[in-house]
Amino acid sequence: MHIDLSGRTALVTGSTQGIGAAIAAGLAGAGARVGVNGRTPESVGRAVAELRQRLPAADLVEVAADVTTEEGTARALALLPDVDVLVNNLGIFEATPALEIDDAAWRRYFEVNVLTAVRLTRAHLPGMTARGWGRVLNIASDSAVVIPVEMIHYGTSKTALLAVSRGFAKEAAGTGVTVNAVIAGPTHTGGVEAFVRSLVGDELPWDQAQREFMRHHRPQSLIQRLIEPEEIANMVTYLASPLASATTGGALRVDGGYVDGILP
């Protein structure tokens, strides 16, 4: 398959590192103009410089804005007003005992992991539907389906994101715009490395620590390893393309077989 996103503009939230950076690279590699987003000009500038080293011909836009706030969203819209592909990747997570998650934490997770995606979708969907083409992709998690006891606030926020995706797909019905969620499984990022270390300790070499984490905390994984960010990006790049025009309202899994179910 040849994926060509030439002439399309994409925004990937939280794309200065990890999965977001891999998605930005995947879309740029397919020819899209890509808005790289982070909270500070410094972090965005570093990420763009790294991407340009890998993809010298990439068309990249620096979108330094805290999109978890209304003010930051307005700034992002000013910097990149017309978007054909919106990837709501930004999210937070941490391990916290269930009975110690207070109201403030619950609100914060809903604000960052759900309302940020809602706000940006609400802003960009009208333009997409008016143009008759667009893609909204929400990066969810296996935790949306298999709620982890060590972070039920995170899992619940990702469950809500699946519902948000399905609902906006209905809103966009018949317009040429598709809306999907991508269920990412345990993925090898800097944040996940720190999370793994918090659970298995700092003494073990990384390869062994990863195996211990998967064995004791994610034993359902059928690939029995962490997923690489580029593997998530491959799915996102496909779903962002014209080739995926009949796929909408779905929750597509890149989870290494972690979710023990046939559907979705």
Q: Which residues are catalytic?
A: 154
Picking from 19, 16, 22, 30, the residue whose alpha carbon sits closest to that of residue 240 is 30
* Cβ within 8 Å of residue 61, ≥6 positions away: 33, 34, 35, 36, 79, 80
The dihedral formed by the CA atoms of 82, 92, 208 and 235, expressed in degrees to the nearest 10? -30
Count CB-CB contacts under 10 A for residue 136.
28
